[in-house]
Structure 1
């Protein structure tokens, strides 16, 4: 199946849009790591997919650069309060689930299955990450990190893909990628 045909399926999967881009066009801002270090989300050092456990900014960029292509997913979801962490966590999880489902369907249509996910939030396969208890990850092959952990500039990525980044207070935009 052709890229354009896949992109046209965005709405069927529940996304505002999805676009292909080359990973060489992704921009990494290693200084973004400081936002993870602030630990506003509480996952710093408590989730195997989050810093510092996931790797340095340089290591994370190298992981992505091993791939040539990226399929970028965008959801735009109405919210009551864009600053309500509980509400946005639910929306992030919905976005993640839609991404996983879409990629599985697209693999059946010819999308390579040797890729890696980059999501809009921390890995959430487990109710609570085993990192907190210093136990091994139970789902290492499916574990995913977020754009922030990779230090990917989402604004520049959205602009490159002609995606709307406008935040007007009652709509939140989230992004995820499947690199292959």
Structure 2
């Protein structure tokens, strides 16, 4: 069964928490989607998996809601004083996500995570070229308008881990 394969892969890779939901329980918020315009991460208009290049809110919702089920994953990472380990922690989380993708590469799933697509060293959106791997594009939860903070709290998952720790959220849809 696909769900069992996904959960086995999640446990093998080493995520700290996961919760199963239906895709109907995914919370989308216009405010989250609109916050991308502030471009705090630098990906707005620079990455095909981020707004506005990823489409409008309806297109982003449709991309996720075509699946019936989802599993929200969390990896709790130490960020240090003043978030000095944010980049290191983010890279570690993305490496875990790559391991999960490898384990599920032949399965009919979509995996989304924090930040924009990182498949290429530099997104071809920056040079105005077409996406090199449109079928493998990695979408951002927040960049797609998901209110992962509200969802994680509603599900009792760790968002703020205390002692300079924070949860990094990802999602497997199937």
TM-score, structure 1 normalization: 0.84
Residue of structure 2 aligned with 1:97, choices 68, 73, 95: 95
Name which of structure 1's ranges 89-98 and 58-67 shifts more when overlaid on structure 2: 89-98
Q: Cα–Cα, structure 1 residues 25 and 165, in superposed 2: closer, same or farther, change >3 Å?
A: same
2: distance between equivalents of 1:177 and 1:73?
Answer: 6
CA 1:66/1:76 → structure 2, altered by over 3 Å: closer, same or farther?
A: same
Matched, 1:157 2:151: yes
Aligned to 2:86: 88
Work out the CA distance in 2 between the residues paired with 1:11 and 1:82: 30
* CA RMSD of superposed structures (Å): 2.3
What is the Cα deviation at residue 95 of structure 1?
A: 1.6
Could you say which residue in structure 1 is the equivalent of 2:65?
65
In 2, the alpha carbon distance for the partners of 1:136 and 1:47 equals 11
**Mean Cα displacement is larger for which, 167-176 or 46-55?**
167-176
Q: Is the 8 A contact 1:74 1:174 kept in 2?
A: yes
Q: Deviations over 1:149-169 (max 9, x none)?
A: 111111232134331222425
Q: What is the CA-CA distance between 1:82 and the residue it aligns to?
A: 5.1
Give how far 1:126 is off: 1.2
Change (3 A) 1:89 1:140: farther
The structure 1 segments of at least 4 consecutive aligned residues displaced by more than 3 Å after TM superposition are: 1-12, 81-84
Residues of 2 paired with 1:57 and 1:44: CA distance?
14
Q: Distance in 2 between matches of 1:117 and 1:37?
A: 23
Alpha-carbon shift at residue 37 of structure 1 (Å): 0.1
The number of equivalent residue pairs is 174
State the shift of 1:20 in Å: 1.9
Q: Could you tell me the TM-score, scaled by structure 2's length? A: 0.86
Partners of 2:139 and 2:9 in 1: CA distance: 25
In 2: Cα distance, 1:137 partner to 1:31 partner = 27
What secondary structure sits across from 1:40 in the alignment?
Answer: coil
Residue 50 of structure 1 pairs with residue 50 of structure 2: yes
The unaligned stretches of length 5 or more in structure 1 are none
Cα distance in 1 for residues equivalent to 2:81 and 2:121: 24
Q: Which residue is equivalent to 1:140?
A: 134
